[in-house]
Chains A and B, each alone.
Chain A
Amino acid sequence: MKNQLRSFFIFLTIWVAGLLLLRFSVSAGELPRVELSADNIQPRPIEDLTAKSVPRDYALAWQSMERALEENRSELLDAYWTGLAKDDLASRIKTQIGARLRTRYVDGGHKLEAVFYSPAGDALELKDHVHAQLQILDEDKVVYQEAMIVDYMVLMTPGADRWLVRDLEALSPAKPE
């Protein structure tokens, strides 16, 4: 009986670990959920096509950033990041490699609010309300984790066929959920 119970608990542990692993691998591959609101944008409205491409490209930008920070691979930033935002993340990855640290996000979704769209259509400023699970890993040991809610100010500019994140600045400290 004792042996049966032990086997059952071992099986349960493996099953739960497997589920968690599966859940995590799905999360890592999924595109973050991004909702865009452009009701209060100034001084001009955004075009329908822009309203579709911005959330898609912003989600791809976050997905690439999350992978880049977890795998310490700055080349993953090339597709959707530019300017100072890209430099900052590349610099962070460089120092993460030096300190043997990694950052892991499990993205919980973004509420984007467009606040400024330049009359010439060459700059778009947005506020992002982000929910995420954050982990800081030293080697493979988690030294910190939190459920974070952070507001960011985002500046995006158009590239040849997509919108790129040019600036990403956190507005407020995290509040525990």
Chain B
Amino acid sequence: MKPGFPILLVMVASLSAWAAEMHAPAQVTAGTSLAIATNGSGRGTFYLIGPAKVSKRDIQMGSQISVDADELERAGRYLAILCASDGCTATNFSVIAAAPNRLSLLVHPSRVPVAMSNGITTVAFVFDNFRNLVLKSAPVEFTILPKDGSELRATRQSEHGVAWVTMTSARKEGITRIGASVGHASEVRVVQQVASDACNLRIKASRVNRELLVETDPVRDCSGNPVPDGTVVSFTMTDMGGKTTVDVPIKRGIAKITMPIKGRARISVASGVVTGNDLEVTGG
């Protein structure tokens, strides 16, 4: 054997190993095309394995492999595999989310009592045009527009693609619009603020024929908002015969009931955990 032969063999082996090489960038932005350089000659098979798509095609070794933008829309890890007659080689690269341009907004609850501390929470998930979660921090602007108030704004940096705020509901009932915006995207949700529990619940009594009509003053919460019709008010009468409780829904802002009274009786009122005044009455 000639002394140069092993060296030639090593060179040929190196060349054939080199022939299966390909070069892809380490990172590309979602929705942009890509060219992967290959070396060598002859035909080969190229595989692209992505989070949402795989593809396989025959290629000419030594040429550039074009990967279209629509094959690289989903962020994540991609694997490029090139197989030739002498075996397969592979490289991987990352596709990262494009600029923030979509929002997914979660606002809870949809109805909230007025003046409830940290009663409303708003969570914004930041996505790009291809619905990839944008993990790079981005400023998200939250806006709160009460029914009869001025707009409030607050900016929060997203972390891991999420930004959130909590807020206390307004003192007046009605609709509040809660929005968030990032890039060219904005989303709005509506929260209905309703009266809170009854406050300063008061009843009065008057005689109607032989019965006693007991009715509340207009039922309002502590901020002066009328408590919604349908809210239950409980009237309890205690007399010689024992205790009787009647639940009555509020209608047109007040709750009322007629009661037959014999002898002395005490009437009390409550709505939920709130109690009102007591009345001492005497029947005929």
Contacts and interface: CB of A to CB of B under 8 A. Distances in A.
* Same assembly: yes
Interface string A80-101: 0000100111011001100111
A84 to B, nearest CB: 6
Interface in A95-131: 95-96, 99-101, 103, 115-116, 118-120, 122-123, 125, 127
A92 B47 contact: no
Nearest to A97: B54
Interface stretch (A10-18, A26-34, A51-59, A165-173): A165-173
A133 to B, nearest CB: 14
Contacts, number: 105
Contact of B164 (A87, A118, A169): A118
B201 interface: no
Interface residues of A, number: 39
A171 B136 CA distance: 11
B83 interface: yes
Nearest to A103: B49
A115 B161 CA distance: 11
A153 B49 contact: no
B55 A99 contact: yes
Given A119-B164, A155-B133, A92 B52 contact: yes
A59 B59 CA distance: 39
Contacts of B135: 153, 169, 171
A160 interface: no
14 contacts: A88-B52, A89-B52, A101-B47, A101-B49, A101-B56, A118-B123, A118-B164, A125-B161, A136-B79, A144-B47, A155-B133, A169-B76, A169-B132, A173-B92
Interface of A: 42-43, 84, 87-89, 91-92, 95-96, 99-101, 103, 115-116, 118-120, 122-123, 125, 127, 136, 138, 143-144, 146, 150, 153, 155, 167-174
